[in-house]
Structure 1
Amino acid sequence: MSKRVCIIQPVMKQYRLPFFTALYALLAREGIDLQVVYGTPWQEESRRNDHATLPPPLGLLVKTRLLGGKLLWMPVLKPLLAADLVVVEHANKHLLNYLLAALSRVGLKRVAYWGHGHDRQAAPASLGERLKRHSLHWADWWFAYTADAARYITQQGFDSARITVVQNAIDTDALRAQLAAVTDADRTRLRAGLGWPDESRIAIYCGSLYENKRLDWLMEAAERLHARHPGFRLLIVGGGPMGQQVEDFARPRDWVHWAGPKFGREKAELLSLAEMWLNPGLVGLGILDAFCARLPLLTTDLPQHGPEIEYLEPGKNGLIAEPKAMAFADAIESLLGDPVGLAAMRAEAESSSHRYSIGAMAENFSGGVKQCLRLC
C-alpha cells in the first residue's frame, strides 16, 4: 500500500508551482502519493497579486478563514486524516498546527515543520518568538529552508538527524531560458516604450510592495542618485499594500517606472534591462531571480532578512550597506562608477544562480520525506 503525504500551505504562490510539480514526480516514483492543500488568499494577502492554482489531483483548494485578523483556519480534516505524513508551515498563526501537535504527541500522526525555525523580523524575547522556540519541538521532522535555519533549529535542541536542509529555491531554469530568449531588439523596444535612452543606467526593484522592503529608503536613495547621475533610471516591478505610494512616487518622475506585477516572459524582459537589483529591505527568494538575471543584489544590514540572505556574498555577488537611505545610495553609486567591478559582480551573480535549483530542492525534500516515513 502506497504512503500518502499532505503538504499544507496557507496560499499557493506562483513561484512554488514548479517545486510541487517536481516533488510530486519524484515521490510518485517511490510509490508515495503527494497532495498539496492550499487556502484562498485573505484580503491583505490578495493584494500581493502573486498567487496561482495548483491543479488536482496534486492541488486541493480550500477556503481559508482569518480569525481576529491574525489566526488562520483551514478545513483540511479529510486529507489530513488520510496522510501518513503532514507537512505544515511552522507559524504561530496556524490554528491547525496546535491540533497536529497534539496528534503527533500521542503518536496518531507524523508531523513535519517547514520553515526557518524563527522569525528574523521579530524580537527574540517577544511572546511570539518564545512560543516558536517551544513549538519547534512539536514535530517529528523538520524541513529547514537553509543550512543556517537548520543550525538554529539544532541549537534549540532538536535532533539534527531529523532535519532536512531543503536549500530553498525558485525555478531558475525557466527564468534563465526566458532571459536567454530576450533579444537586443526587445531591449531597444522596451527602452523606447519607457522613453529612456539606450545609455540609461537602469536599476530594478522586483518584489512585493510592503513596508519591510524599506521602499522609503529605495525612493530616497533613487532621488539622491538621479540628482548626481541624470542617466540613472529606476524600474519597479511588483504589487502590494504600498502600490499607491509607489505609483505616487513614479508618476511625476519620467526616470522612474512602476510596471506592476509581472511574471514569465514579461518579467524576464524587464530584468534584462537592468544592471543591478535594489532591495534595501527584507531579502528572500528574490535573490535567486537577481542572480539568474546576472544582477548583483544590493541591500542593507537588517536583522529582518529571510534565510536566503545566506546566498549573498558581499563584494562578490552583491553589497550590504548600512541600514539607511544615504548609505544605500552610496553603495549603488560605487557600482555605477566602477564598470569593471560591476561586470565582475554580474558574472559572479550568474555563477551563484547555478548553485540553487528547483531540481535540487525537490531532491532534498523527497529524501527527507522518505527518511521521515522510514524512521519516524
Structure 2
Amino acid sequence: MKKVTIIYRTIPQYRVEFYNQLRVFLLDHGIQLQLIYGNNGFSGRNDSVELDWAIFVKNRTFNLGSFVLIWQPCLNLIKDSDLVIVEQANMLLINYLLILRRKFFKKKFAFWGHGLNLQAPKDNLFNQFKMTYINQSSWWFPYTEGVKHFLIEKGVSSDKITVVQNAIDTKTLRTQYLSFSNEEIEQCKIELGIKADEKVLIYCGALSKEKNLTFLLESATRLKKLTCIGFKLIILGNGPERKAVENFAQNSNHIIYIGPKYGLEKAKYFRLADIFVLPGAMGLAVLDAFAYETPIVTIEYPFHGPEIEYVRNNENGIIAKNDMNDFNAKVIELMNDQILCDSFIALGLEDLKTLNTETMVSNFGNGIINCLEA
C-alpha cells in the first residue's frame, strides 16, 4: 500500500471534514494517509482542533526579530512515505529539507497553497524568496485556477499541477443554517435588541489588520447617517484587533460585538443577517456567505485570498471599489432591493453544487494518485 503524508502547522476546525473524507477516498484507492499536525495556529483565532487518527508533533518556534521560523520534528515519521505534502511557506524549515531530499534521493513531495503570501505585496522580499523555490516540488496543489495560472507563469509545468478548488463543508453549514425555527430567530433578535424592521449586517472573520476593520467600522458609522433604514452590524470573530473592535462597539448603538462563534452558533447569527460585509481580505468566508444565504459586499482589495475568484461581481455578490462611498452605496442598494438579494442567494446556492468538500476531496485525491503514478 502506498503511503502519503500531509504535514501541517495545525488543524483548523474547518479542515476536519476534508481530512476525514480524503482519508477514506485514498484508502478506497489503496493509499494510506498519514496526517501530522502541530500547534502553530493563527494568532488569536483559537480555531485549532485535534483529530484522533492524526499524529500530533509539537512544533519548535524560533523568533528572529519579527520573523518566525518553525521546525516540525517529524523526519522519522516520513521515512516510508511515497509522497509528502506541505504548505508552501518560507517559515517552515522542513520544506528546505524536503527539497534536498527530492534532489538527492528522488523522494517526492508536493506544495499545497497560494503560491504567494497574499497578505503581503507581491514584490516584497519574502514573496521574492518564495519564487526561488516555487518550482522545486514534485507536484503542486494550488487552491484555485487563478493560482494555477500564476504557477504556470512562474515556470511550473501544468502537468504537475492539480487545482483542489479550496472549499469547506458547505453541506453541514446548510444543515445548521436551516435547523432554526423562525421563532428561535425572532427571539434571538429580541435578545440582541434588534427591531423587527431593522436590517442586519454581519461581519465574520479574523479580527486582524488584513481584514480592513477600521474601514468596516467607519463605514458603519457613516452608513448610519446616510440611510433612513435602521440597521445593526453584528461582528463575529477573534484576533489581535479584538480589543479595538470591542471598544468601538461599546460606544455605538448600532454595532454588536459577539465574539468568536462556530458551528450552530455561527449559523444562528447568519440566520439573522441580511448582508455579509467584509471590506478586507476575503477567503473561504465566500462559501460561508453562499451557504448561509447572505449576499456579500466586499471591495477591490490587493490582499484577498484566492477564493475571491468565486465571487462574480454583480452576479452572486458585489465587489465595490476600494472607496467607502461606493462600498456604502452598494450596501444601501442591497438593503433596498430584496429581488437582487434573492438573485445573489440563488446563484450562490447553485455554486455550492461544485464548491464543496466532496469536490475538493475528489480533486485532491485524484491529484495524489496522478503524482504517485507520474
TM-score band, normalised by shorter chain = over 0.9
Correspondence for 1:48: 45
2:164 to 161, 166, 185: 166
Contact 2:8 2:37 in 1 (8 A): yes
Correspondence for 1:180: 178
Q: Indicate whether 1:65 and 2:64 are aligned.
A: no
Deviates more, 1:244-253 or 1:337-346: 337-346
Partners of 2:317 and 2:260 lie apart in 1 by 24
Contact 2:315 2:344 in 1 (8 A): yes
Partners of 1:342 and 1:252 lie apart in 2 by 30
Q: Note the 1:307-346 alignment, pairs <5 A.
A: 307-346=306-345
| SS of alignment partner, residue 121 of structure 2 | coil
Q: Normalising by the residue count of structure 1, what TM-score does the alignment of the two structures yield?
A: 0.95
| SS of alignment partner, residue 266 of structure 2 | helix
Correspondence for 2:88: 90
Q: Note the 1:159-308 alignment, pairs <5 A.
A: 159-227=157-225, 228-229=227-228, 231-308=230-307
Cα deviation for residue 112 of structure 1 reads: 0.3
| SS of alignment partner, residue 161 of structure 1 | helix
Correspondence for 2:102: 104
Correspondence for 1:113: 111
| SS of alignment partner, residue 318 of structure 2 | strand
| SS of alignment partner, residue 258 of structure 1 | strand
List structure 1 segments (4+ residues) > 3 angstroms apart after TM superposition. Answer: none
Q: Normalising by the residue count of structure 2, what TM-score does the alignment of the two structures yield?
A: 0.96
Deviates more, 1:93-102 or 1:69-78: 69-78
Partners of 1:268 and 1:104 lie apart in 2 by 44
Quick one: structure 1 residues 348 and 10, their matched pair in 2 at CA, closer, same or farther if it must change by over 3 Å? same
| SS of alignment partner, residue 164 of structure 1 | coil
Cα deviation for residue 46 of structure 1 reads: 4.5
Quick one: structure 1 residues 41 and 125, their matched pair in 2 at CA, closer, same or farther if it must change by over 3 Å? closer
Partners of 1:88 and 1:188 lie apart in 2 by 45
| SS of alignment partner, residue 272 of structure 1 | helix
Partners of 1:141 and 1:202 lie apart in 2 by 45
| SS of alignment partner, residue 112 of structure 1 | strand
Partners of 2:153 and 2:118 lie apart in 1 by 16
Deviates more, 1:65-74 or 1:98-107: 65-74
In structure 1, list runs of 5 or more residues that go unmatched. Answer: none
Contact 2:164 2:360 in 1 (8 A): yes
Give the AA of the match of 2:134. Answer: L
Deviation string 1:18-65 (CA, Å, 9 cap, x unpaired) is 0000000001111211111111136xx341111111112xx1111122
Contact 1:8 1:38 in 2 (8 A): yes
In structure 2, list runs of 5 or more residues that go unmatched. Answer: none
Partners of 2:273 and 2:299 lie apart in 1 by 20
Give the AA of the match of 1:51. Answer: S
Contact 1:293 1:350 in 2 (8 A): no
Correspondence for 2:27: 28
Cα deviation for residue 66 of structure 1 reads: 2.0
Cα deviation for residue 230 of structure 1 reads: 5.3
| SS of alignment partner, residue 315 of structure 1 | coil
Using the aligned pairs only, state the percent identity. 37
Partners of 2:243 and 2:121 lie apart in 1 by 29
Partners of 1:17 and 1:287 lie apart in 2 by 19
Contact 2:202 2:270 in 1 (8 A): yes
- Number of aligned positions between the proteins: 370
Cα deviation for residue 354 of structure 1 reads: 2.5
| SS of alignment partner, residue 70 of structure 1 | strand
Contact 1:295 1:350 in 2 (8 A): no
Cα deviation for residue 11 of structure 1 reads: 1.3
Cα deviation for residue 275 of structure 1 reads: 1.0
Partners of 1:131 and 1:259 lie apart in 2 by 39
Partners of 1:166 and 1:279 lie apart in 2 by 25
Partners of 2:141 and 2:204 lie apart in 1 by 27
| SS of alignment partner, residue 118 of structure 1 | coil
Deviates more, 1:299-308 or 1:328-337: 328-337
